[in-house]
Amino acid sequence: MKLVWPSAKLLQAVAGASLRAYHHVTRSVLPLLLEQYSKHSQSSQRRTILEMLLGFLELQQKWGHVEEDESTLLSLRAPVCSVVFSALTDPSVQLQLVGIKALTVLGSLQGFLSPSDLELVVDHLIHLALREEDSQSSEAAMEAAGSLAPVYPKVFSGRMVPRLEEELQSEREQESSRDHCSLRQRCLQALAAVSTHTSIVRETVPVLLQHLWKVHKGSEAGNAQDIVSVCQSLHRVALQCQQDAEGCWYYHQTVVPCLLAMAVQAAMQESTHPLLGKALLEEEVLAAMVPVISAATTHLSPELAAQSVSHVVPLFLDGEVSFLPQNSFPCSFQPFEDGECLEAQRRLVALLMALVCSLPRNVAIPQQERLLRELLALSCSCNCPFTATTAAKCFAGLVNKHPAGQQLDEILQLAVNRMEPSLAEGPRRTQALTLLLWVTKALVLRYHPLSSHLTDKLLGLLGDAELGPAVADGFSLLMAKSPDVLHKGCHADVRIMFRQRFFTDNVPKLVQGFYKAGPDVKANYLKGLSHVLNHLPKPVLVTELPTLLSLLLEALSCSDHVVQLSTLSCLQPLLLEAPQIMSLHIDTLVTKFLSLTSSPTMAVRIAALRCAHALTSLPTTVLLPYKARVIRALAKPLDDKKRLVRKEAVAARGEWFLLGSPGR
């Protein structure tokens, strides 16, 4: 067994040289491997033999389809399948995983598996995906099903999907114990994983939607997590459909109206039946629906996207529900009207945002100016933070794509006129700040001239005692990639190097503001600066390091753990990329890092230990005077109550022990 691996590798290298060599080697080797597999009963030995067999199977993939009379593999179909199927039923998880890989390769070989073999393949994959206790085997089986489904769509849609639907139905009828919830979750994941061909998508999507309707209507209506699980599966299917125009349109016109209909129905019932459908209005559920609708929209052709938005915008502006399935609602849908009873309806603006902010830029949005005004009013006046934020994001997403010109200038001026008085005083300063941040981000991304005015407004608010900390955190929002709007995946106007431009224009102002600010608000400027630097490409940051390093070191003394964490995250890569500059401040760096290893915040302790570890990349001559001191100080976090902290302490202290050793 010791010589098996090197022998197999040499033979595989020879077999990979040419088709003729492959036939010659496999004619001798494959029967031998199959014989060895049956002789050895231990799972570890069988795994080794199967891995070698897998190497030869993958070479058959390389040479492609071959004639039946030439292929040794075809003549050994029955014993090869028997070996692979036996691996799938073995108790050893590692052997199962190799068996699943081998099964995927066999399935990709054209004409290798017989119809009866294919049925067995599907049965094994279903069992592993749903019943196997180990999550690794379950996930690998789902991935294998996704890989093989496009090759054998009829087999998977005719055998696997009905079995999964049956399991889901039986689980829904069982009591909602922990085991049943886990199995239901796996059924939903398996349905999504196998949806890699349009014909299968047409089978799985109705099953997922039917399950969603029953959860929404039935006694389980309060279980928000179950609805989130279905939405996660629908999202995966949407991503898998995106490259196929026919599948993408089928998915969009089937799923989007259904989700909107359920949400609208739940919002209208909120006033009369508070418990019925309330789960659909929870933030986590609406947040899970957003990526489903967005992924279903981003890859539509302009013509089909225009057709879809022509229904959705009138739904929100005029209550036009005729295109929704099961559209006999008890009252009218008016999310932009005033009234406390409409609060539930206003929350659905998140779903409007998901669709209109994911459209290609060349798709005209009907009644866009009216829609922008309604969103602006809602974002400034709504008391619900979730609704106000989603309205602000939707407004910003539309502004970012709006063609330049008088109409855009007018709507932006209207927004500024609404924001500035609200920011100055009143009960809705937070809503006004949220809108300011999102509009600023929308304009910064597209280099709009007004962005500098709005950024200056934010810089001024850093000195505000009430809003200052939130403004400082807002600089992270300006620089980071947003998951649902204002990114390239949803066709936003994102200019190249916008972060570098923002840095050049605004960091000098941040530094100047820090030195002028009073002691009670200095932390806001440091936090804002650390957020900007954290999202800046490291090569750019290295060039600016000499002027900023003293300020970063001062930020480590700030009592705010968010500032400390951001600064440490910023400094760690710089220790590796700019060792000469950092060496000049070694005394301060060692002192600060060791001090922060005792921070009450676990994340700060971990980041400080990682920085102490990164210090060892500096020149050895600079570090040696500090070696004994650091090793002593790092003994304390070895006894930290958190395992992750202890792990980092061991790694850092070990590197410091080895400092100056021969060969280092």
Mean pLDDT of 285-294: 95
| Residue 176 confidence (pLDDT) above 70 | no
* Helices 429-445 and 498-516, packing angle to 10 deg: 140
Handedness of CA 29, 31, 36, 41 (dihedral sign): positive
Q: Which amino acid is at 567?
A: T
Mean pLDDT of 279-307: 92
Q: What is the pLDDT of residues 189-212, one digit of tens each?
A: 999 999 999 999 999 999 999 998
pLDDT bin (cut points 50, 70, 90) of residue 259 is very high
Q: Which of 387-396, 567-576, 639-648 has the lowest mean pLDDT?
A: 567-576
| Residue 23 confidence (pLDDT) above 50 | yes
pLDDT given for residue 644 in this prediction: 95
The candidate with the shortest Cα–Cα distance to 24, out of 48, 56, 55, 53, is 56
* Helices 198-217 and 161-173, packing angle to 10 deg: 10
Q: What is the C-alpha to C-alpha distance for residues 73 and 67, in angstroms, rounded to an integer? A: 11
pLDDT given for residue 219 in this prediction: 47
Q: What is the pLDDT of residues 355-367, one digit of tens each?
A: 999 999 999 999 9
3-state secondary structure 157-172: HHHHHHHHHHHHHHHH
Q: What is the pLDDT of residues 580-636, one digit of tens each?
A: 889 989 999 999 999 999 999 999 999 999 999 999 999 999 999 999 999 999 999
The candidate with the shortest Cα–Cα distance to 386, out of 358, 424, 347, is 347
Q: DSSP readout, 571-598?
A: HHHHHHH-HHHHHTTHHHHHHHHHHHTT
pLDDT bin (cut points 50, 70, 90) of residue 41 is confident
3-state secondary structure 104-157: HHHHHCCCCCCHHHHHHHHHHHHHHHHHCCCHHHHHHHHHHHHHHCCCCHHHHH
Contact in structure between 382 and 431 (CB atoms under 8 Å): yes
Q: DSSP readout, 65-92?
A: ---TTT-HHHHTHHHHHHHHHHHHTSS-
pLDDT given for residue 70 in this prediction: 55
What are the C-alpha distances in Å from 79 to residues 52, 70, 256, 389, 434? 15, 18, 48, 61, 65
Q: What is the C-alpha to C-alpha distance for residues 201 and 568, in angstroms, rounded to an integer? A: 47
Higher pLDDT, 86 or 548: 86
Average pLDDT, the chain: 89
Mean pLDDT of 311-332: 85
Mean pLDDT of 63-85: 76
pLDDT given for residue 11 in this prediction: 94
Would you tell me how many other CB atoms lie within 10 Å of the CB of residue 447? 12
Q: Which of 138-147, 325-334, 351-360, 381-390 has the lowest mean pLDDT?
A: 325-334
pLDDT given for residue 110 in this prediction: 81
Residues of the chain with pLDDT > 70: what percent?
94
Backbone angles phi, psi at 490, to 5 degrees: -105, 25
What are the C-alpha distances in Å from 332 to residues 256, 259, 338? 20, 18, 13
What are the C-alpha distances in Å from 524 to residues 136, 472, 473? 45, 5, 8
| Residue 647 confidence (pLDDT) above 90 | yes
Q: Which of 69-83, 428-442, 478-492 has the lowest mean pLDDT?
A: 69-83
HSE value, Cβ hemisphere, 13 Å, CA-based, for 546: 3
- Angle CA 467–468–474, to nearest 5: 90
pLDDT given for residue 273 in this prediction: 63
Q: List the structure tokens of 410.
A: 């007018």
Handedness of CA 412, 417, 422, 428 (dihedral sign): negative
pTM for the whole structure: 0.87
| Residue 277 confidence (pLDDT) above 60 | no
The candidate with the shortest Cα–Cα distance to 57, out of 91, 10, 97, 101, is 101
Return all residues near 475 (Cβ < 8 A) that are at least 6 apart: 458, 527, 528, 529, 531, 532
| Residue 175 confidence (pLDDT) above 60 | no
Reported in sequence order, the residue ranges of 161-315 that DSSP labels E, i.e. its strands, are: none
Q: What is the C-alpha to C-alpha distance for residues 226 and 176, in angstroms, rounded to an integer? A: 11
Q: What is the pLDDT of residues 519-577, one digit of tens each?
A: 888 888 988 988 898 888 888 888 888 888 888 888 888 888 888 888 898 888 888 88
Mean pLDDT of 640-650: 94
Contact in structure between 168 and 188 (CB atoms under 8 Å): yes
pLDDT given for residue 603 in this prediction: 93
Return all residues near 324 (Cβ < 8 A) that are at least 6 apart: 257, 260, 261, 264, 315
| Residue 214 confidence (pLDDT) above 50 | yes
